Structure 1
Amino acid sequence: MKSCLFDMVNLKQRLGIALILPISLMGAIALPTPLKDAQAQTGDGRAITVRADVQEANSQTGVVTARGNVQIDYPARQIQATAAQAQYFSRERRIVLTGNVYVLQQGNSLRGETITYLIDEGRFVALPKTEQQVESIYIVSDPEAPTQPVAPPVTPPFNPKPVFKTPVSDP
């Protein structure tokens, strides 16, 4: 365990400025199980917690990659997300989530194959799988809306077979 802690200290020193950004992620370079969860501590409540099977940080490019069962929690903006992979590009200040992505923010949800979160703009850009669609569900404030959901009108089920009548014979 002591060697893992030592590796984390060295990782922090190698990443330098990337870890003191107001919103940052920190990953471990293929470290063992005790360091699966990574959280950058900034002291101002804008930390993002990332959980994943594997996390890597590249100090040369400033890119942090989390792969496998990725879970992100960003309480300052009330964002929770899951994906197969997440990449944080510290220089561009964006997070790219890929693989069956689900994002929840203040009750609103967004699903897609690739979702990019532009941190400075607070904006999501979602792309679907080929030949599919992105799905979003928004909570809309409408004081005139009924409190109970309105049921759709009841229509008889479609019957592709026509109903035949008994033939009438001529008298």
Structure 2
Amino acid sequence: MVRSRRLALAALGLSLGIAPLLWQSAASQETASQALTILADVQQANAMTGVITARGNVQLRYPARQIQATAAQAQYFSREGRIVLSGNVYVLQEGNSLRADSITYLIQEAKFVALPAPSRQVESILMIPDDPNQQIIESVQP
């Protein structure tokens, strides 16, 4: 039986000397909400390169940005501030979803870059308000 292992990258980052994602010195609740959590069958961390690799049934949770994802593999490049998900990737953020063979998330830019498998396409499902103008007006008013 394959068991998933939990790895909170913020905690691992401290033990590796890697700067944790968006670390804040505020209350522990705020720090916990900033954590990026990865569940996977196997995980490896390289202290020399700052790269963390997770393989098999990967689940990623990043509550600070309301991101949930699944993939066959995930790699966190701490020095570059990016996460590369590969193999049947599905990302869900605030009701919007993205499916692709490979998705790179640029953490500082909060930007996704998705690539399809050969002869396939990337699929995005975006939640659009019924009246976009009304949504803007409501969010601007105090």
Does TM, normalized by the shorter one, top 0.5? yes
Letter of the 1:15 counterpart = L
Aligned twin of 1:133: 121
* Larger-Rg structure: 1
Q: Distance in 2 between matches of 1:86 and 1:134?
A: 18
TM-score normalized with structure 1 length: 0.63
Instruction: Tell me what 1:162 maps to.
Output: none
Unpaired runs of at least 5, structure 1: 1-10, 25-40, 145-171
Cα RMSD for the two superposed structures: 2.2
C-alpha displacement at 1:12, in angstroms?
A: 6.6
The alpha-carbon distance between structure 1 residues 105 and 55, as it changes in their structure 2 partners (threshold 3 A), is same
| 1:26-52 superposed Cα distances (whole Å, 9 cap, x missing partner) | xxxxxxxxxxxxxxx982621011000
Task: Give the counterpart letter for 1:21 in structure 2.
Answer: P
Q: In 2 relative to 1, CA 91–13 (structure 1 residues): closer, same or farther, beyond 3 Å?
A: closer
Match of 1:50 in 2: 38
Percentage identity across aligned positions?
64
Distance (Å, rounded) in 2 between the aligned partners of 1:94 and 1:12:
14
Instruction: Work out the CA distance in 1 between the residues paired with 2:82 and 2:41.
Output: 21
Deviation at 1:141, TM superposition (A): 1.2
Match of 2:16 in 1: 15
Q: Report the CA distance shift for 1:45/1:14 in structure 2 as closer, same or farther (over 3 A).
A: closer
2:91 aligns with one of 83, 86, 103 = 103
Matched AA of 1:90: S
2:72 pairs, out of 63, 72, 84, with 84
TM-score normalised to structure 2 length? 0.75
Q: Deviation at 1:14?
A: 5.5
Deviation at 1:22, TM superposition (A): 3.2
Q: Is the Cα–Cα contact under 8 Å of residues 95 and 117 in structure 1 kept in the other structure?
A: yes
Tell me, yes or no, if the aligned pair for 1:23 and 1:48 is still in contact at 8 Å: no
Secondary structure of residue in 1 paired with 2:33: coil
Assess, with a 3 A threshold, how the Cα gap between structure 1 residues 12 and 48 changes in structure 2: closer, same or farther. closer
Match for 2:62: what amino acid? Y
Partner amino acid for 1:133? Q
Which one has a larger percent helix, Structure 1 or Structure 2? 2
Question: Cα–Cα, structure 1 residues 78 and 110, in superposed 2: closer, same or farther, change >3 Å?
Answer: same
Pick closer, same or farther for the CA change 1:13–1:123 going to 2, 3 Å.
Answer: closer
| Paired letter, 1:88 | Y
Q: CA offsets, 1:43-96, max 9 Å, x none?
A: 262101100000000000000000000000100100000000000000000000
